[in-house]
Structure formats: structure tokens, C-alpha cells
Amino acid sequence: MLPRVDEARELDVVLWGATGFTGRLVAAYLARRHRPKRWAIAGRDAARLDALAEALRDETEYGAAPRRLTADLARPESLEAMARRARVVLSTAGPFTRIGEPVVAACVRARTDYCDITGEPAFVDAIERRWSAPASDAGVRLVPCCGFDSVPADLGVWLTVRALPRGVPLRVDGYVHARGGFSGGTWQSALEAMAAHRPFARRARSESAPNGRRARAVRPGVGYRRDRSAWTAPLPTIDVDVVLRSARLLDQYGPDFTYGHHVLVRRFTTLLGGAAFVGATYAASHLGPLRRWLQSLRPAGTGPSPEHRRRSRFTVWIEGRGGGRRATTEIRGGDAGYEETAKMAAEAALCLALDPPATAHRGLLTPAVAMAPRLVERLRAAGLVIETTEHG
């Protein structure tokens, strides 16, 4: 295993974007889980950081506020100075396609590991093209998608594949069922991601993997699962890209790996309504005036109430088969988009900062490649239900 980038860093984690809606939840989680002198909140507005730090003082058993660092996207040197103080920078500040890359660049230059909560394919494509190779040369791990996009799917597939025979073709399908609201920041990021998406212009993804292996996606159709009493349909999220990247980097996914990703809903009318809403929003996101109007409907910094988040739930089922055997993994939790995303992202950052590296790979990685199985253990200890069952 490679050594840490720098054992002498004064901070384990810097949380960039801490004063946003999701950032505040991550900060509250870290305040309960980590020593205040070993992590810091960071952003542009010192007054907002001070107010958040004082509010977090009561969240910790140590009775001390986290440290505060100011930096500005317009001043790259301030971002690099921030990154040099920590082992890991965790970013919750989106839309990532528009404002995320300077933080990645600062981490690569500072030789600091990086993770975030993005679900924006265009952003991940950009950091792969521009920063994966420099990060690899610098010994840095870049691990986007460490929230609900795409930790449950990526770790769930990893666990399922591990329970199947080695060296055989594998077919794996993921099914996502979730209920809950979304914040202004998520809404802004979704609109940016839709606006940046060009279905006929996106870079083609190779199915090839090292050692003659291949990993590919299938586009599932609409169907009905009697065993789940629910309708299924394709779910074209970044989870598919993340799972396939893990499959290409890890030999355990076999010589021919195939993955399908599905949404699971109880009522057909819900399925139709959701498809119509996404289609209309996608079309509107490509028209500047309509996109700006949609962005105004949910300002950044707003989000579901604590009561709403307490009622929210998610389940991700992963089903795999190969070599005459089957395996399933089920991951369950509460509010997927915020409470559980905060938990996943914070534990991922602590895992990168404190646990032995899971792989010698550097550059752009996935949660499974960079952190399994230790992140699985951390999330179980944090309250997520993660269960894998093998079948004959």
C-alpha cells in the first residue's frame, strides 16, 4: 500500500461549502463524530462560518467549535492554502459543473485527497479529462459521488459481486426506492446537470477493461416486479457510470460484467408522472429563460424541514447472478438526499483521512475502489442497514 500523502497535516478533514443546506448537515455530523481541532469548516464568508461554528459548539461532547478557514474561488492560491492544511477536502458546494473544479485543482496541487457529493456526470467527466492523470502522478485520490449518488449502488454492487464466483460473467441489477424532498442546492445542481447534458455529444465510454475484461451497461425496460409489488423503469443517474468504473478497475467483477439500474415505484401513475416531470424539466433546462425561472423556484440554501427528513426513507436492492449462483445486497436508511448523504460523505472523508488505503490506484476513483470494505464497516456502525445474502 502507498503511504499517505502527508502524515504531518494539521487537519484530517476540511469541509468546503459548510454553510450550505447539505453542508450544515455534514458539519453537524462531523461535530458529533470528530475532534474539533482535527477538522475545519471552510468558505468565503467569515461571518457565516463564525455563526455556524458557534452553532455547532453544542453538537460536540468536547464543547469546542470546529476551526474556520476562509478561501475564495476567485483566488486559487487561497484554495490551495486551505487544501495544504488537510489530508482530505470534502466539498458539498454545487452546482459542481459550474463551481466545483477549482477545488479539485487546488487539492491536486496541494497533494490532498478529495471527495464530494456530486451527482453531475459532466463534472465527473471534466475532472477525469483534466485532473485524473495529474492526481495520479501526485499520489492523490479524487473520489466524487460520495453521497446517495453513488455510495449505496457502488458499495452494494461491490458486496454482491464479492459473494459471487470469481472469473465468470456476471449480471447485476440495482433497484432504488426512495421518498423524500430535495433542497434548493440539489435543484440547482440538477438543472445545471441537465443543461450540460448533450445525449449525442457526450464522450463515448469504452466497455473495455484491463486484462481483456469488459464492463457495460444495459438499458432496462419498464416492467412489473410481483415479488416487490412495484413497477420498475430505467434510472439514468450517475450511479451507472460509477459502478462501471469500479468494474473496470477491479478484477473481481469478472471477465464480462453487465449492469442495469432501475427505479422502483409502487404505482404506475407515479411512474408516469415522474417521467413527465423529468422530461419537461430536462427540455426547459436547455432554454436559458426557462432554466433561470426554474432556478428561482428553489433558492440555494433551502431544503426539506427536519420533520420531513425524519419521515423519509430509502432502500437500494442489488441483485447479481453468475456461475450458477445468485446474491443480493440490501441497503436501507432514512432521508437519502440529506441526513444519510451527510453521513455517507462525512464517513467517506474520515475513511480517506484516517484508514489505511484500500488500493494502490490513484487519480479519479470510486467509493468502492478507494474505500471498500472499510467504508462499509463505517456506515454499518453509523446506522445504515447493509445486508448481503447468498443463494444457491
Cβ-based neighbours of 221, under 8 Å, separated by 6 or more? 233, 234
Residue 306: CB atoms within 10 A of its CB come to 10
- Residue 315: what pLDDT? 96
Average pLDDT of the segment spanning 344-371: 97
Which pTM was predicted? 0.89
- Residue 7: what pLDDT? 55
List pLDDT tens digits, range 261-280.
999 887 767 666 666 656 66
Residue with more model confidence, 323 or 274: 323
Domain annotation for the chain: domains and CATH numbers: 11-147+340-378 (3.40.50.720), 151-336+385-391 (3.30.360)
Cα–Cα distances (Å) from 95 to 107, 116, 193, 293, 330, in that order, read: 18, 12, 8, 16, 30
* Cα gap 142→171, rounded to integer Å: 28
Per DSSP, helices labelled H in 100-251 are 101-110, 121-138, 151-162, 184-196, 239-249
* Cα gap 152→238, rounded to integer Å: 12
3-class DSSP state of 207 = coil
- Residue 141: what pLDDT? 98
Entry field: residues in the chain: 392
List pLDDT tens digits, range 88-114.
999 999 889 999 999 999 999 999 999
Pairing relation of β-strands 223-225 and 230-234? antiparallel
- Residue 296: what pLDDT? 66
- 373 cis-preceded (ω within 30 degrees of 0): yes
**Pick from 13-27, 137-151, 294-308: least confident:** 294-308
- Residue 1: what pLDDT? 34
Phi, psi of 262 (to 5 degrees): -130, 150
- Residue 203: what pLDDT? 42
